[in-house]
Structure 1
């Protein structure tokens, strides 16, 4: 990606902070400390691309790259009040990305690289530069993303009992939906079932975590895997640790379920051009340096599991869908609130167009 940007004339002048192994939804570590949110230093930028989003929000740079398997572009963008795009899986080569460690060349499942910027146009410019086939495929393949859909009908799914969404996040989704309606776009609000989407959030999350375990556990030591598998460490101790003891057959079953989800999304997007979703169920959190298994988030004043922060983002990750995080407003503490615009597979220009439309319709964030 860096080579593609340089070839297009971009000036690369630095790297930004990230959590160890890109395996957290906040950003900090022993090497470079905390990445502090430019809106308030006591709060996290999110992770894992927290340094990237924080740098863009603070005006250090107009654009950044991030990577995302469980929300690592979208969560920091939402937390910092900027736009972040998780591309459709496979349209941007992961060649050279770390993790996995150098000299490992397999592309991790669900993992993508994408741009973070302050405007949708800047995001699209960077995506146009970096999108294209893996070096292995370049002799025969090329990529031409379809133009944006006309944006006539949009769905909005605000909440679900399996992973409750904070009222402030729901208000941000309602604000975005109302802005689109006022601009002449039809918006249907409801549960997945009410919208005609045959995907259960709990089932999607199980499939997501089974697939995520196969991605994340590649960097685990044998001792750590054994400790989690036999119960000496809780499954919440690491990102993607829930199913470290699963057999390959279990992964194959989850992969088949993913294929069925993709077909259901395809049917859904025959009716809707895009869907508005939470990025996370909670507003921006304060820094939390405790072990993963001791951390929580707060939703509507009630503690919830720390890894609930990846549940809603997992809807797009599992099914390889493009998802653009766009800022909507500020919460009651004066911190940014963002939502996700998710579209059909390979309809990246559609989610970017809708995100740009929202950015134009809503007032800019001001401290």
Structure 2
């Protein structure tokens, strides 16, 4: 991280970065929040079970562990995330595609919260609305700052499902299966939103295999610029859970 976290180009003239040391290195002094299950960000049941098992392992090892929601709703932060990330992802798109998105956005019902609808709204977002949502982002960052006064890290899913078969259909036509329900492909990355929106560090670490032998990770989310705390806690979890295990029949 000392190599990655550094000023670039002309910023080197005046800027320097020194990441703080891990907040905790003793597991018995560790304070962990576990994000509760979210209806609007549904995750495979086996992933939830493995996260729960990991929380119990941490508790047994002496850590203070609580299941607690952050001081905002998932829908709130997901709305901000969608309206900030999709204008960036669509920048430089061809005019015809962007014009189509603008037309579709005008016809969307406000109650439509499908992944496709959120993307369409984001792609067609006006600059002034982007500024408003960026301000909303800073309110979320302040709420996280207050939250982490009581916890060292928060644990949450990384992805909604374990590894799935490659699908080379057009992106808009792809779907995934979550607990028997068909979800749009973009649902796979929904848990990135709360972290990316607030510019928080997060470290992905293995916690076991599903009943079908697929590897599962969780993410260790930390306070702003506390990357080394996330990495340290991820190491603790790795040691408790046995680290990465090669799936059966995987070559």
- TM-score normalised by structure 2 residue count: 0.88
- Is the Cα–Cα contact under 8 Å of residues 322 and 346 in structure 1 kept in the other structure? yes
Please tell me whether residue 272 in structure 1 is matched to residue 145 in structure 2.
Answer: no
Structure 2 residue runs without a partner (length 5+): 109-113
- Is the Cα–Cα contact under 8 Å of residues 331 and 337 in structure 1 kept in the other structure? yes
Q: How many residues of Structure 1 are paired with residues of Structure 2 in the alignment?
A: 235
In the aligned structure 2, how far is the partner of 1:139 from the partner of 1:335? 47
| Distance apart, 1:244 and its partner CA | 2.0
- Is the Cα–Cα contact under 8 Å of residues 79 and 118 in structure 2 kept in the other structure? no
SS in 2 for 1:231: helix
- Is the Cα–Cα contact under 8 Å of residues 40 and 75 in structure 2 kept in the other structure? yes
Return the match for 2:173 from 277, 294, 303.
294
Return the match for 1:205 from 78, 83, 86.
78
**What is aligned with 2:40?**
162
| Structure with the higher helix share, 1 or 2 | 2
Q: 1:273-305: CA deviations, max 9, x gaps?
A: 000001112121111111122111111111112
In the aligned structure 2, how far is the partner of 1:282 from the partner of 1:242? 25
Return the match for 2:90 from 208, 217, 220.
217
| Distance apart, 1:238 and its partner CA | 11
**Equivalent residues in 2 for 1:1-367, closer than 5 Å:** 127-150=1-24, 152-190=30-68, 192=69, 197-231=70-104, 240-364=119-243, 365-367=245-247
More displaced stretch, 296-305 vs 353-362: 296-305
| Distance apart, 1:246 and its partner CA | 1.8
Q: 1:189-242: CA deviations, max 9, x gaps?
A: 14x1xxxx221111111110110122111131111101122139x996799543
**What is aligned with 2:111?**
none
- Is the Cα–Cα contact under 8 Å of residues 281 and 312 in structure 1 kept in the other structure? yes
In the aligned structure 2, how far is the partner of 1:148 from the partner of 1:129? 17
